[in-house]
């Protein structure tokens, strides 16, 4: 069942537009390499299920996770409330993720989907070939400590090398590692703006402006500092470069 889910995640988007033939992923999900044709209602139910799971899966196993966390912390540090809006931050995160993941997506398409669509390999073989680039990406950014944790949780035998790790271990390990990395970067972004808040709060208290919230006075200074150092270029550039 887990193998079927991962296969659907890899090819779900393309499979929705493919005809229901023996070479279609939807007609081969039920068996290892066999062309067992599913009924039309089952294909529709499976397609809808994959459509529900696909966005969450793509957000979790791509750079989208780290980028959204960092941009959220940046907005909180600036104290601009809802500016930029969630739609703008999500859109920026999505296009940056597409830029970073394009080489891997192209490799998966050429090595797995294209041969399967031409009938040269089965869905099971396509899954094995398509998961190799994804595993390489996940292993690169997943911490060894997190991988060890989920190997123990899954009660799987200790792998001799990274190629023996399964996606059921690599995906949660990658998510946990990206959460930690995103929070670390967010904490570092907070520090310079926190200094400005402390300075402004000290000045307002020293001159007796106790009724005026320091946040209202510090916000323009934080925005001015961020603009002067070309903050968006620095933050986005550093985020993208961290995946290369």
Over residues 82-138, the pLDDT tens digits come to 788 888 989 999 899 888 888 888 888 888 788 877 777 777 787 777 788 888 888
- Predicted confidence (pLDDT) at residue 19 exceeds the cutoff of 60: no
Lowest-confidence segment of 25-39, 53-67, 147-161, 224-238 by average pLDDT: 25-39
DSSP string, 2-48: HHHHHHHHHHHHHHTTS-SSTTSGGGTTTSSS---PPPHHHHHHHHH
- Percentage of the chain surpassing pLDDT 90? 7
**Which DSSP state fits 159?**
P
pTM of the model: 0.74
pLDDT at residue 5, as a whole number: 47
pLDDT band for 179, please (50, 70, 90 cuts).
very high
| Mean pLDDT within 33-41 | 57
CA angle 121, 126, 42 (to 5 degrees): 95
- Predicted confidence (pLDDT) at residue 145 exceeds the cutoff of 60: yes
d(CA 67, CA 94): 9
| Mean pLDDT within 153-181 | 83
pLDDT band for 183, please (50, 70, 90 cuts).
very high
Q: Considering only residues 118 and 13, tell me which one the structure prediction assigns the higher pLDDT.
A: 118
Lowest-confidence segment of 30-39, 67-76, 158-167, 175-184 by average pLDDT: 30-39
- Predicted confidence (pLDDT) at residue 148 exceeds the cutoff of 60: yes
pLDDT band for 12, please (50, 70, 90 cuts).
very low
- Predicted confidence (pLDDT) at residue 24 exceeds the cutoff of 60: no
The closest of 171, 154, 145, 181 to 69, measured between CA atoms, is 181
- Predicted confidence (pLDDT) at residue 26 exceeds the cutoff of 80: no
Cα maximum dimension of the chain: 79
pLDDT band for 219, please (50, 70, 90 cuts).
confident
Q: Considering only residues 169 and 2, tell me which one the structure prediction assigns the higher pLDDT.
A: 169
| Mean pLDDT within 3-14 | 48
Average pLDDT score, the chain? 77
Q: Tell me the Cα Rg of the chain.
A: 23
How many residues would you count in the chain? Answer: 244
């Amino acid at each position: 069942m887990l193998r079927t889910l991962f296969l659907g995640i890899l090819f779900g988007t393309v499979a929705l537009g493919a005809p229901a033939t023996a070479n279609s992923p939807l007609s081969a999900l039920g068996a290892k390499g066999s062309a067992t044709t599913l009924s039309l209602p089952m294909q529709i139910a499976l397609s809808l299920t994959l459509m529900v799971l696909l966005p969450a899966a793509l957000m979790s196993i791509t750079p989208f996770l780290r980028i959204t966390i960092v941009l959220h912390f940046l907005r909180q540090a600036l104290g601009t409330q809802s500016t930029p809006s969630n739609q703008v931050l999500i859109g920026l995160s999505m296009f940056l993720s597409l830029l970073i993941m394009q080489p891997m997506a192209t490799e998966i398409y050429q090595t797995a989907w294209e041969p399967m669509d031409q009938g040269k390999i089965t869905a099971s073989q396509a899954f094995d070939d398509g998961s190799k680039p994804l595993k390489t990406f996940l292993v690169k950014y997943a911490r060894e400590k997190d991988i060890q944790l989920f190997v123990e949780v899954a009660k799987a035998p200790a792998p001799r090398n990274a190629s023996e790790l399964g996606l059921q271990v690599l995906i949660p390990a990658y998510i946990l590692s990206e959460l930690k990395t995103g929070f670390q970067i967010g904490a570092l972004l907070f520090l310079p703006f926190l200094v400005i808040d402390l300075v402004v709060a000290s000045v307002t208290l020293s001159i007796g402006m106790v009724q005026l919230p320091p946040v209202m006075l510090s916000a323009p200074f934080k925005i001015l500092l961020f603009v002067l150092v070309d903050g968006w270029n620095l933050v986005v550039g550093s985020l993208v470069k961290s995946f290369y």
